Amino acid sequence: MADEGLHIRVSGGVQGVGYRFHCRHQADSLNVRGWVMNLEDGDVEMEAYGTHGAVFDFLGEVTRQDRGFLVTDMRYEQIPDNKTYKGFTIRIEQG
């Protein structure tokens, strides 16, 4: 089965609460590749690549409601796999 990707944007209480580190930890544990980054408007953007099951398990973990962060809105779209990512990184927000 071919790997796939998701472009994800989440809103809510997701900055200043360790959310990007949680995303990286979940990605590492699920063998998901990609990146996560804070946006200037308070949202967080990420891309996640891996098997269908791993990517959607990742999506479920990073939107759980029993954590120290609060995701109030989540939008995603499927994108083609990007084989250039070897791991999951935290990107510095662009300014």
Q: What is the pLDDT of residues 32-42, one digit of tens each?
A: 999 999 999 99
The answer to whether residue 67 is catalytic is no
Here the CATH number for the domain that contains residue 53 is 3.30.70.100
Residue among 38, 64, 82, 91 flagged as catalytic:
38
Q: In the Cβ-directed half-sphere of 69, how many Cα atoms lie within 13 Å?
A: 24
Residue among 9, 20, 24, 33 flagged as catalytic:
20
Residue 55 in 3-state DSSP?
helix
Q: What is the pLDDT of residues 2-59, one digit of tens each?
A: 789 999 999 999 999 999 999 999 999 999 999 999 999 999 999 999 999 999 999 9
* Domain, as residue range, for 47: 4-91
**Residue 11 belongs to what H/E stretch?**
strand 4-13
How far is 83 from 2, CA to CA, in rounded Å?
A: 11
Question: In which region does residue 12 sit, left (phi positive, over 0), alpha (psi from -120 to 50) or beta (all else)?
Answer: left
Q: Which one, of 3, 39, 44, 4, lies nearest residue 21 by Cα?
A: 44
The answer to whether residue 20 is catalytic is yes
Q: What is the pLDDT of residues 81-92, one digit of tens each?
A: 888 889 999 998
Q: Can you give the pTM of this predicted structure? A: 0.91
pLDDT value at 95 more than 60: no
pLDDT score at 67: 81
Count of structural domains, the chain: 1
pLDDT score at 1: 58
- Indicate if the alpha-carbon torsion angle 6, 66, 92, 11 is positive or negative: positive
Q: What is the pLDDT of residues 55-73, one digit of tens each?
A: 999 999 999 888 889 999 9
